[in-house]
Structure 1
Amino acid sequence: MNILKQLQTIPAVSKFIINRYSPYRGAGISIDKIDLKNYYIRVKMPLTRKNQNIVGTHFGGSLYSMVDPFYMLILMHHLGSKYIVWDKSANINFLSPGRSTVYADIRLDAMEVEHIRELAENYAPVHRNYTVNIFDESGLRIAEIQKTLYIRRKKPKPF
């Protein structure tokens, strides 16, 4: 494993890299907490002139992008390099206008990762569905995102 990949397995380094990713910086998105060991990431985004829509609320694309890669990141961290993990599809339902800082808590657990390992044992594709909610500072649910991830155990390379 090269040094960059090794560094990216350290949560503080992952947080640093993602928080400096230009699309996230431009939208004001940042990781508030990252605890990959415990399958948890909290993301936040304040409302700024750079991420508001024409009516002054959070732009929908920024709301989606704030949660986009994190189920994949958690799974890649726990499954390791012997698995392929890709986002397959997503759907977002806007429930209320976001007018303040918004948050999303992305969580998985060890039993889910073990279940995926069992399902992928025979190298067949596994599709898993996850739902994440975005809340504002007052606890009002702003949006609900459903994501489908494609996971497959990599086939061994022939000699």
Structure 2
Amino acid sequence: MTAKKMRLGMSLWPPYLGAGVRVTHIADDWSSATVTYRISKLNRNYFGTAFGGTLSSMTDPFYALLLMHQLGKGYVVWDAAGVIDYVSPGQGRLTATMVVDPAVVEQIRVETASGHKSLTWFETEIVDESGSVVARVRRQVYVRKTLVKPGVAAA
């Protein structure tokens, strides 16, 4: 799948579409993704601000997706943990940009080459239109090389 198709598909994914979350960019080399969330009368909480769960969902799949595509076939990749610190009430248009540096990808390749798992933490901030931090998010991604059974060709 291309980054462009993934961006479109994720923006039309019902949980994101209904919540007002849009994937505005995925780099062609899968090194970064940018996601926005515009708070409106239809998707705000009781206090008129962003739902905490929606803020968390903005970053949820992206580090795993970016890593999966950069690593290529032969790896098991999944989101293992998430921590979010709410800094200020989210209002207006919020943005999160997730970046996976190629050096980190190479480090994960080294860590998993012998069959061991890699647990890597990634961090991003969700900011409002003025650049003020609304939330700080940490995501841990699990990676392990796919085990190949003897006598079975690897995919």
- TM-score, normalised to structure 1, is 0.92
Aligned pairs, how many? 151
- Which secondary structure state, in structure 2, belongs to the residue aligned with residue 37 of structure 1? coil
Which residue of 1 is the match for residue 34 of structure 2? 42
Instruction: Please give the root-mean-square deviation of Cα atoms over the aligned residues, in Å.
Output: 1.0
Q: 1:134 offset after TM fit, Å?
A: 0.1
Runs of 4+ in 1 over 6 A off after TM superposition: none
In the other structure, the counterpart of 2:81 is 89
Identity of aligned residues (%): 34
Matched, 1:28 2:6: no
**Counterparts of 1:60-71 in structure 2 under 5 Å?**
60-71=52-63
* Gap runs ≥5 in structure 1: 1-7
Instruction: Measure how far apart 1:38 and its partner are.
Output: 5.6
Gaps of 5+ in 2: none
Identify the range of structure 1 (38-47 vs 116-125) with the bigger mean alpha-carbon deviation.
38-47
- C-alpha distance in structure 1 between counterparts of 2:30 and 2:16, whole Å: 24
How far apart in 2 are the matches of 1:151 and 1:44? 27
Scaled by the length of structure 2, the TM-score of the pair is 0.94
Give 1:145 deviation, angstroms: 0.9
1:34–1:42 contact (8 Å) kept in structure 2: yes
* Equivalent position amino acid for 2:89 in 1: P
